[in-house]
Amino acid sequence: MANNEVSTLKKGLLVLELVKQYQGITLREVMDQLQLSKSTAFRILTTLEEMNYIFKIHTQYFFNYKMFNNHFEKRSEKDWASLHTIYQVAQNLQMSTYLGKVDGTDLVMTQVIHAPFDQSANEEIGNRSKLHQSALGKVILAHLDEELLVPLLNKMSLEPATENTFQDSQLFHYHLKVIRQEGFAFDDEERIVGIRCISVPVFRRKKVIAALAIAAPAEQISRGNLKSIVQKLNMGSETITKEIETIEKTL
């Protein structure tokens, strides 16, 4: 070691760099990767967390990019794409995973992750579809307050994407009520023939702000595994909400 090196500082920077490389890393993984004792790794991670350079969700630590970006705009497209916990959802379900939000009568993709679930499909971010054509759009509509939903529905033309797309406005309104009661939306080849999609809402301060979904060939999603997928998506939605709230506290 060079005479001018500060051992603790160097370890801290190595830990910070390691956390940055991972889409969520545990205390044990930091210990193993850098050959640190449990007490040393814990002290460094705790210090970095207190300084808002990283944040912790459950047992995993994440790099807080917002501390290093002074020109950050809240809820921008870049902000949505920088969320890390969606990777855990994708890896857990082993299916293509999506985040989307409302823009007018459109559903806009803000994050897309395909196998091997370790990087964003940036070329698909920003893709648009009509809200009524997918589970993502339907689950957001279903959880909007009535004063927001009614004028939005009045603007929608319900044009079909496939023969399975809802086109009857009264039936669609009833369908949204069922989705709200069940807490998830199911897209049975309504936007793309051969593809099914399941989506749950993402909340912030008890208001729906986005939707989280998986999509897969129809034969991979059935009534038999629907409940399990919804349960995992709901867990993922809660974790994403916690990540958003954690990031906002550091701004």
* pLDDT digits 0-9 by tens, 43-102: 999 999 888 888 887 788 888 766 665 443 344 444 666 788 899 899 999 999 999 999
Predicted confidence (pLDDT) per residue in 163-184, tens digit = 999 999 899 999 999 999 999 9
Q: Which CATH class is domain 7-63?
A: mainly alpha
CA–CA dist 35, 101 (Å, integer): 42
For tokens 């939005």, the residue is 152
Q: Where in the chain is the domain with CATH 3.30.450.40?
A: 77-249
Share of the chain above pLDDT 90, in %: 54
Q: Residue 130 carries which side chain, given as an amino acid letter?
A: K
Write down the pLDDT at residue 69. 54
Say if residue 40 is exposed, middle or buried (CB neighbours under 10 Å; 0-12, 13-18, 19+).
middle
Q: Which whole-number Å values give the CA distances from 113 to 84, 87, 151, in the listed order? A: 11, 7, 32
For tokens 């989506």, the residue is 199
Average pLDDT taken over every residue of the chain? 86
Say if residue 4 is exposed, middle or buried (CB neighbours under 10 Å; 0-12, 13-18, 19+).
exposed
pLDDT band at residue 142, thresholds of 50, 70 and 90?
very high
Q: What angle do CA 86, 164, 133 make, to 5 degrees?
A: 40
CA–CA dist 233, 212 (Å, integer): 7
Write down the pLDDT at residue 183. 96
CATH architecture of 77-249: 2-Layer Sandwich (3.30)
Q: Where in the chain is the domain with CATH 1.10.10.10?
A: 7-63
